Amino acid sequence: MERAHVKAIALLSGGLDSALATALTRRLGFGVVGVNFSTGFCTGQGRCDTVLATGQTLGIPVRLLDVAEEYLSVVRHPKFGYGSGMNPCLDCRIFMLRKARELMEEEGAEFVVTGEVLGQRPMSQHYRALKLVAEESGLGDRLVRPLSGRLLPPTWPEKQGLVRREDWLDIQGRSRRRQLALAREWGIEAFGQPAGGCCILLEKTYAARLRDAFAHRGPDAMTLEDFALLRHGRHLRLSPKAKLIVGRDETENAVLAGFAKGRIRLEPLDVPGPTALVEGEVTEEELVLAARIAARYADAGPDQEVRLRASWAEETKELKVRPLPPDDPRLRALRVG
């Protein structure tokens, strides 16, 4: 078997490590198809562009696959639990690699390549975690980590005599020095920030909002849209059944307007101010409180009455309220994240 006739699937995250792992596989002469999975929780602007640019630099085709709906089950019920935020890293890796295995079969490829580095991340890249992920994904020795390959048990290409142990690298730990040097040497310029910030589930504010939503609504009741809305605005819990989301600037107001279906939309009528949404079951009293909070962020004096329109489905009604004073303790107490 010649290397040129053997194909690999490479997971490209938009970060440097996966680009280097792919580059090394390519330099060894294997055919490579890059793949990036979009989960709906990814961060980093232009990530897809970066992945495509990496593909272009390396001269390989890249597939961008949307797996957001399927990925929700990983976030809702991770078998191996969450990390410091609501990041289910082990389950996430297993999920991605199972998808990569499907693609491997579809593309007639023989193995899967990732940019994982031994000891780089505490939850998902220590030795036992790498082994577990290989087993649980069903890839076993078809999962190759070129950057740490010399430090890990032999994988399929090595067992087949297609590569020697020393063809792989022996990078481990958190330092990026060797990776940056290799990027310079191999002319890889398009890559995002270190993968630590690749996903919003790691972020403290988002994680707090997600925990709150799981506690009050239950993970299975939440739709893709509900998960997305947790990224935007200020979130305040009015009761176990109701929540208020207030836009913080014009852009966010426009974004929130897109989430208005199925929620009550509040907008000041006579003064500039935020778009706010109330979701869940709300009492009359809670709706007035929500309007007072929204009015607190409008351009109105503290004693000025603010008129707001509340609209939902085909109905609208007008509310006239005094803004909640900025030092009202409820503002802090109700805040989520």
Contacts with ligand SF4, residue ranges (CB under 6 A)? 87-89, 92-93, 124, 198-199, 201-202
Closest CB to ligand SF4 among residues 61, 196: 196
Name the closest residue to ligand SF4 (Cβ).
Answer: 199
Least CB distance to ligand SF4 at residue 89 (A) = 3
161 Cα distance to chain centroid: 38
Check if the beta carbon of residue 88 is closer than 8 Å to that of residue 123.
Answer: no
Least CB distance to ligand SF4 at residue 39 (A) = 7
Alpha carbons 195 and 16: distance in angstroms, whole number: 8
Q: What angle do CA 231, 288, 253 make, to 5 degrees?
A: 30
Closest CB to ligand SF4 among residues 43, 57: 43
Name every residue whose Cβ is closer than 8 Å to that of residue 315 and which is 6 or more positions away in sequence: none
Closest CB to ligand SF4 among residues 24, 195: 195
Instruction: Work out the number of other CB atoms within 10 angstroms of the CB of residue 119.
Output: 15
Least CB distance to ligand SF4 at residue 199 (A) = 3
Closest CB to ligand SF4 among residues 25, 124: 124
Least CB distance to ligand SF4 at residue 198 (A) = 5
Closest CB to ligand SF4 among residues 26, 47: 47
User: What is the helix (H) or strand (E) element at residue 143, kind and residue range?
Assistant: strand 143-144
Closest CB to ligand SF4 among residues 89, 294: 89
Least CB distance to ligand SF4 at residue 48 (A) = 15
176 Cα distance to chain centroid: 22
103 Cα distance to chain centroid: 21
Name every residue whose Cβ is closer than 8 Å to that of residue 240 and which is 6 or more positions away in sequence: 216
First vs last Cα of the chain: how many Å apart? 55
Closest CB to ligand SF4 among residues 148, 253: 148
Alpha carbons 191 and 18: distance in angstroms, whole number: 9
Name every residue whose Cβ is closer than 8 Å to that of residue 167 and which is 6 or more positions away in sequence: 28, 149
Least CB distance to ligand SF4 at residue 85 (A) = 8
Least CB distance to ligand SF4 at residue 87 (A) = 4
